[in-house]
Structure 1
Amino acid sequence: MTRLGKQFFTAPTLALTERLLGKIFVRITPSGTVLKGRIVETEAYLGHNDEACHAWRKKTERNRVMFEAPGTLYVYFSYGCHHLLNIVTEPEGTAGAVLIRAMEPVEGIPCMQERRQTTVETALMSGPAKLTSALGVERSSSGRDLFGNEFFLLDAPSPQPSMICTSTRVGISRSRELPWRKYLADSPHVSKGRPS
């Protein structure tokens, strides 16, 4: 499989929510363990006209990574207990990112099972907090990009358009009407969260 480069991220954020589906997210741990997950669910967050976005009001120390170059990882701590993984997708200086909501485990499954304390594969990465736990992604990963040796994306066949579903986003209280969530209809690894 071919690594996806910076050109892939020149597409608009809303297009990338769909284009990312089926791609393989790779993390190489410090010990050399290879962890791979196939992206099956995404959500878009745009700084302008999106009150659910962290950068809706202005740039702050907390959200500054969202304004960095496309392909940068934006990891934040949600509700004081979960790390969530986003990929910055707007041109540098403009806030926007795609939240990776769920993946299908592909490689490194024993390591993921140990981290998640379960052997049920559909429970390993079927939610944004589950997948960061399985991958060992924490706040320290925020600001790194997908073009090095620790994190990168591999190209893979895109799903058929008929298999891609659209809905409103999950677990938000503002801008709830925006249909900016994409997921694969046939995947048992999609999160169980209900659209807002």
Structure 2
Amino acid sequence: MIELLSRPATEVAPRLLGSILEVGPVALRITEVEAYLGEADPGSHAFRGPGRRNAVMYGPPGHLYVYFTYGMHVCANVVCSPEGTASGVLLRAGEVVEGIELARARRSSSKRDTDLAQGPARLCVALGIELGDNGTDLRTGRVRLRLGEQSPLIAQGPRTGVSGPGGSADFPWRYFIPGDPTVSPYKAHVPKRRTG
């Protein structure tokens, strides 16, 4: 697994489609991801270099980079590339394959099982991933990654909701299983209008 995760995120991301992410009794099959290439990528948290928030991205591959966004959501990435080079794969969506009752209880607002982990914040809630999981070793920690058989069908396109050049068609680094009902709908970033 570490050999694969030591590669750049754009190589790792499509390979993760179909893999299993487990946290205790809940497990999901990964159906959608996005790649981020650190300092070479204007959409990445590491674009401006290392800092306290993104330190895990510069650490060894095979760990979980967890962060808080929009003042209310937790999102998780698989750290890739050799230590010292920031690179990560955002876990965007998945199908809950074990522990569905617990996932339903955590995501009680979901109307269908297909949207339990449809989107990066929902995925973390359904699995029970928390900020305290930042830095977790995905081979031995509370959150575990099991490489599964790669999906034979893979589509790609621009990343969803990313502002600026990192969200353009020049960065087609969103990978997903086409036709899978758990994949989140694509949303281009729409800048907020200033008033006053």
State TM-score, norm by structure 1: 0.90
How far the C-alpha of 1:186 sits from its partner, in A, is 2.1
Instruction: Tell me the equivalent position of 2:155.
Output: 165
Match of 1:151 among 143, 146, 157: 143
- Tell me, yes or no, if structure 1 residue 78 matches structure 2 residue 78: no
CA separation of 1:155 and 1:49: change in aligned 2, threshold 3 A: closer
Match of 2:26 among 30, 35, 39: 35
The whole-number CA distance in structure 1 between the counterparts of 2:151 and 2:136 is 28
Match of 1:141 among 113, 133, 143: 133
How does 1:170-185 map onto structure 2 within 5 Å? 170-174=160-164, 175-177=166-168, 178-185=171-178
CA separation of 1:114 and 1:141: change in aligned 2, threshold 3 A: same
The whole-number CA distance in structure 1 between the counterparts of 2:34 and 2:67 is 15
Whether the 8 Å CA contact 2:38–2:86 is kept in 1: the answer is: yes
The whole-number CA distance in structure 2 between the counterparts of 1:152 and 1:133 is 16
The whole-number CA distance in structure 2 between the counterparts of 1:168 and 1:193 is 9
Instruction: Tell me the equivalent position of 1:31.
Output: none
Runs of 4+ in 1 over 4 A off after TM superposition: none
The whole-number CA distance in structure 2 between the counterparts of 1:14 and 1:41 is 13
Structure 2 letter corresponding to 1:169? R
- Tell me, yes or no, if structure 1 residue 6 matches structure 2 residue 13: no
State TM-score, norm by structure 2: 0.90
RMSD value, Cα: 1.3
Instruction: State the secondary structure of the residue aligned to 1:182.
Output: strand
- Tell me, yes or no, if structure 1 residue 186 matches structure 2 residue 179: yes
The whole-number CA distance in structure 2 between the counterparts of 1:82 and 1:190 is 18
How far the C-alpha of 1:155 sits from its partner, in A, is 2.9
How far the C-alpha of 1:120 sits from its partner, in A, is 1.7
Instruction: Tell me the equivalent position of 2:121.
Output: 129
The whole-number CA distance in structure 1 between the counterparts of 2:40 and 2:119 is 26
Structure 2 letter corresponding to 1:96? S
C-alpha offsets along residues 117-167 of structure 1, whole Å, 9 cap, x if unaligned?
03620110011010100011111000111011522222322211xx21110
C-alpha offsets along residues 91-141 of structure 1, whole Å, 9 cap, x if unaligned?
111111000000111000000000000362011001101010001111100
C-alpha offsets along residues 51-85 of structure 1, whole Å, 9 cap, x if unaligned?
11111111111111110110110000011010001
* Runs of 5+ consecutive residues of structure 1 not aligned to the other structure: 29-33
The whole-number CA distance in structure 2 between the counterparts of 1:47 and 1:155 is 23
The whole-number CA distance in structure 1 between the counterparts of 2:183 and 2:45 is 24
Structure 2 letter corresponding to 1:76? Y
The whole-number CA distance in structure 1 between the counterparts of 2:115 and 2:88 is 25
| Aligned residues between the structures | 185
Instruction: State the secondary structure of the residue aligned to 2:48.
Output: coil
- Tell me, yes or no, if structure 1 residue 54 matches structure 2 residue 45: yes
